[in-house]
């Protein structure tokens, strides 16, 4: 919901860092993989219930996620880069709730499962909407130049990052936060269904 506005605030800093990385010969795909690797370490840290360290690693992972696209725009975007970016992002968004489930299965499995199911449905609606919109020639650039169209929603990357931070800061409240966010994610999915019926 606030991703487009957030981009305007952070893009200048990302541009500066990305230019330095690109000048060192560091490519966008390498940063994408690094961000995912850090995300995996964050999930392992969550499993070990070291939540503050996990939050730091999650933020570092998402910094890489912002940098890879900026580097790609400097060096030239590729289809492989766009593919890796979205697939590894989705993997990251899945392993964080999964780590909370595994860390405290008795308390977290139900809410975590509902959240993962909501993510799954939302991801399907997001990717299908993007594919068909691009086929029809639609564009959207408020989040920067992307490999494909990003549709609006209540639950986007910024909101998800905020929720993951809340999970780490208040792990005892994981279930409540997860149920609430699952509802928000499902509302986003419904919005895309309505958009799809309207546009297609």
Average pLDDT of the residues in 41-49: 98
**pLDDT at residue 142 in the model:** 46
Q: Which of 121, 91, 133 is nearest to 189 (CA)?
A: 121
Higher per-residue confidence, 13 vs 166: 166
**pLDDT at residue 1 in the model:** 55
Contact 186, 119 (CB under 8 A): no
At residue 138, does pLDDT exceed 90?
A: no
Q: Convert the pLDDT of each residue in 16-29 to its tens digit.
A: 999 999 999 999 99
Extract the tokens encoding 109: 């499995």
139: Cα separation from own chain's centroid:
20
At residue 46, does pLDDT exceed 80?
A: yes
**pLDDT at residue 2 in the model:** 58
- The band of 178, judged by pLDDT with boundaries at 50, 70 and 90, is very high
Higher per-residue confidence, 97 vs 4: 97
Extract the tokens encoding 27: 């490519």
The domains of the chain, with CATH numbers, are 3-199 (1.20.120.1760)
pTM: 0.86
Contact 62, 70 (CB under 8 A): no
User: Phi/psi zone of residue 156: left (φ > 0), alpha (ψ -120 to 50 degrees), beta?
Assistant: beta
Averaged pLDDT of the chain:
88
Q: What length is written for the chain?
A: 200
**Residue given tokens 């564009």 in the structure block:** 139
Average pLDDT of the residues in 184-192: 92
Average pLDDT of the residues in 37-58: 98
> CA-based angle 90:54:94, to the nearest 5?
20
């Amino acid at each position: 919901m606030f991703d487009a506005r957030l981009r305007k605030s952070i893009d200048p800093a990302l541009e500066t860092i990305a230019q330095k990385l690109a000048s060192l010969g560091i490519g966008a795909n390498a940063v994408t993989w690094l961000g995912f690797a850090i995300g995996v370490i964050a999930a392992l840290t969550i499993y070990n219930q070291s939540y503050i360290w996990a939050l730091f690693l999650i933020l570092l992972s998402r910094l890489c996620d912002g940098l890879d696209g900026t580097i790609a725009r400097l060096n030239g975007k590729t289809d492989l880069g766009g593919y890796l970016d979205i697939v590894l992002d989705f993997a990251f968004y899945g392993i964080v709730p999964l780590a909370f489930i595994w860390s405290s299965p008795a308390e977290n499995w139900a809410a975590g499962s509902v959240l993962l199911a909501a993510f799954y449905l939302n991801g399907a609606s997001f990717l299908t909407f993007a594919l068909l919109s691009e086929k029809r020639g639609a564009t959207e650039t408020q989040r920067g130049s992307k490999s494909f169209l990003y549709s609006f929603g209540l639950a986007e990357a910024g909101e998800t990052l905020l929720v993951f931070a809340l999970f780490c800061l208040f792990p005892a409240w994981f279930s409540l936060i997860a149920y609430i966010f699952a509802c928000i994610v499902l509302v986003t999915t419904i919005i895309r269904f309505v958009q799809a019926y309207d546009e297609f």
